[in-house]
Structure 1
Amino acid sequence: MTVTEAVAGVRGQVLLGDDLLTLRCLQDVDAGAMVDGDDPDQVRWLNDGHPSDLARTREWIGRNQHEWREGGPRRNLGIVDRATAALAGMVEAHLALPDLAPGTVNVAYGVFPAFRGRGYAARAVRLVCTWLGAATDARTVVLRIDADNAPSLGVAQDDALVRAGLVRVGPGSDGLVHHALPLRRVARVVLVCGPAGSGKSTLAGRLERDGFVRLSFDEEAWRRGHRDHPLPGPVAAEVHGVLRARLVAHVRAGRDVVVDTSFWSRASRASYRALVAPLGVVPVTYHLTTPRAEVLRRLAGRTGSGPHDVAVPARLARAYLDGFEAPTPDEGPLLLVDAG
């Protein structure tokens, strides 16, 4: 593959979104909507002239699910209308398309007839480009569009994409019109999110071994002599202040960073996102979706032997879980990781 993700061995369900759309991995139940959304334009531009049928579509979805699980190069996402939860189309990032330069990702898209004319394709491309810049080492996105495909060419004229640097680079050897978007990235930042006992530190350690600088709330608190959680408000704010200052310094130096703390609230995640936004960085949230029973089992076995083994009474453990505000895709790129 010419493009890799931040941690190639970590698999999960990617969720991206804004106020109108959610992009998610395709599911078996999407097959019917995909067949129903077929029309002559879909057949001509995306299906190589072959009308969709249910059996082939189900097989295609299965292949895509396999590629997500196994780290294959084709990453398809369903475009879902948030207001109705209806599947509105698909968008694909191909991480290793032959004949493209190393570090280049091909992005393709299609919107069903009932949802056309609303700007959904351009929004989906923007969201995918944000994910690629935040979660992979991709350097360029390319849109390859047939010169006769006027609606798709319109996506390449989207104001936000043009402001981000999307430009027409001319016809390619494949006979398609190529548009290229450079992914300007200073550094990658991962926010590891989950309640105590969900496996955050284990995941952060994997990122650290892959070259990320790890900033740990629990380790900094332990170093300062704090053995009981939760910390008093002023103390927690002081520890976060240290992490925030180090995060900015590392990002300015071009280093990839993983922040290892619970990020239990939407506000806490937003504050760290706002901190690095002026530096041109969009963090990816890795949300560990460890089952509640497993979290409680792990916490019950803690002995207080170190920063990642702080004892948590059962009552407090349940309160942590009950008060946890799960991240949503409209906050920014999100990966749901099953660490059960």
Structure 2
Amino acid sequence: MTVTEHATGLRGDLVLGDDVLTLRCLRDADAQAMVDGDDPDQVRWLNDGHTSDLARTQEWIGRNQREWRDGGPRRNLGIVDRATGALAGTVEAHLALPDLPPGTVNVAYGVFPAFRGRGYAARAVGLLCTWLGAATDAATVVLRIDADNAPSLGVACDPGLRRAGLVRVGPGPDGLVHHALPLRRAARVALACGPAGSGKSTLAGRLERAGFVRLSFDEEAWRRGHRDHPLPAHVAAAVHDVLRARLVAHVRAGRDVVVDTSFWSRASRDSYRALVAPVGVVPVTYHLATPREEVLRRLAARTGAGPDDVVVPAELARAHVDGFEVPTPDEGPLVVLGRG
């Protein structure tokens, strides 16, 4: 049975991270680093006994790019060392591995020799599990490890993964040692993030049609009779208070929610994340990285016909776009849409 994403059709560049690693979709330019990072362990455990070559690796990256774009079951991410920007390995979530129980995702990983011994594999698994719990209907992650693969068995003993619930299940029917990590099931929250004119309302509408409750700052302000932006600070604060209260109520009731507001600063995004953290919800940020010129063109064409068409003066529009704080992967699961 295939595990599915909650936001099918809203696929972009997935980026996850912390203060040490960034996980991102693989790029064509990663092929040489992958070939250079090959060694006997990689060949034995990940490459089915085949030594990597550039042409085959490029073809493999292309297949993975298509999997992300088309919603295929194999989702590979590059593990990037944040300090140097170097590719340090890969991690994969397989959403439809045969013979696994329904709702189970297989996770595999490999770290290049120069980066081993730093805990990168365990960090990457933890980050990937955060996304799986927040953005899919997966219930369990399984690590399937050969009994002779001591480094991977070491990852399964990582204290952080153990605290998260990873346990050794035992030998599986495939002859590998299975370790299972239950994912917390909770309501899902999407943060539609971008300056006015970037396409947030269109994205939020698509999620609403997929079953999410939509909470819109502009619609609430319009309902209260406000037609001009920016709103006075006390009015904006009151609107956010309403959205925050509704968000918590819906999440506690188990409903999926998309919050449609600019989230122009990290502080604003963090404030909404903090609201749902006590109930185990990790929001996914969908960043509308629409080009600046296109955003300004859309805003210039507005007529004030409704809450999603509020007129923004040209000078204010430029200030909003130029002052926008772009979300970063260390904030939490991040999907970048419309870049370029």
1:250 counterpart SS class:
helix
Separation in 1, partners of 2:131, 2:312: 35
Instruction: Kindly indicate whether residue 76 of structure 2 is the aligned counterpart of residue 76 of structure 1.
Output: yes
Corresponding position of 2:310:
310
Q: Report whether the alignment pairs 1:101 with 2:101.
A: yes
Q: CA deviation at 1:185?
A: 2.2
Read off the aligned partner of 1:286 and give its amino acid letter: Y
Distance in structure 2 (CA, Å) of the matches to 1:172 and 1:105: 15
Q: How does 1:1-340 map to 2 (within 5 A)?
A: 2-338=2-338
Q: Once structures 1 and 2 are overlaid, which stretch shifts more, 154-163 or 140-149?
A: 154-163
Alpha-carbon distance in structure 2 between the residues aligned to 1:122 and 1:59? 27
Partners of 2:67 and 2:324 lie apart in 1 by: 31
Amino acid at match of 1:104: T
Question: RMSD in angstroms over aligned alpha carbons?
Answer: 0.9
Q: Is the 8 A contact 1:199 1:339 kept in 2?
A: no
Instruction: Give, in whole Å, the separation in 1 of the partners of 2:166 and 2:199.
Output: 39
Aligned residues: 340
Q: In the alignment, is the contact (CA less than 8 A) between 1:198 and 1:339 conserved in 2? A: no
Q: Distance in 1 between matches of 2:6 and 2:334?
A: 13
Asked if structure 2 preserves the Cα contact closer than 8 Å seen for 1:251 and 1:257, the reply is yes
SS of the equivalent of 2:22 reads strand
Give 3-state SS (helix, strand or coil) of 1:91's partner: strand
**TM-aligned CA deviation for residue 339 of structure 1:** 7.6
Percentage identity across aligned positions?
85
Aligned AA (1:166): L
Q: Say which SS state the counterpart of residue 326 (structure 2) adopts.
A: coil
Residues of 1 paired with 2:185 and 2:273: CA distance? 15
What is the Cα deviation at residue 271 of structure 1?
0.5
User: Is contact 1:3-1:104 (8 Å) kept?
Assistant: yes
Report the residue type matching 2:168 in the other structure: R
Letter in 2 for 1:178: H
Separation of aligned partners in 2, 1:164 and 1:149:
22
Contact 1:192 1:287 in 2 (8 A): yes
User: How far, CA to CA, are the matches of 1:159 and 1:257 in structure 2?
Assistant: 33
Residue 293 of structure 1 deviates from its aligned partner by 1.0
Task: Provide, for residues 276-330 of structure 1, a one-character-per-residue CA deviation record: whole Å limited to 9, x for no partner.
Answer: 1111010000000111111111111111111101001111110110110000000
User: How far is 1:170 from its partner?
Assistant: 1.0
Letter in 2 for 1:291: P
3-state SS of the aligned residue for 2:201? helix
Distance 2:185 2:295 in 1: 35
Amino acid at match of 2:81: D
Q: What's the CA shift string for 1:22-50, capped at 9, x where partnerless?
A: 00000111111101100000000000011
Gaps of 5+ in 1: none
Task: Report the residue type matching 2:282 in the other structure.
Answer: V
Structure 2: gaps spanning 5 or more residues: none
| Secondary structure of residue in 2 paired with 1:77 | strand
1:102 CA drift (Å):
1.4
TM-score, length-normalised on structure 1? Answer: 0.99
User: In structure 2, the residue corresponding to 1:191 is in which secondary structure?
Assistant: strand
Q: Does the Cα contact within 8 Å between 1:212 and 1:255 map onto a contact in 2?
A: yes
User: Partners in 2 of 1:230 and 1:145 — Cα distance?
Assistant: 55
Deviation per CA, 1:133-172: give whole Å up to 9, x if none: 0011111100000011111011111111111111111111
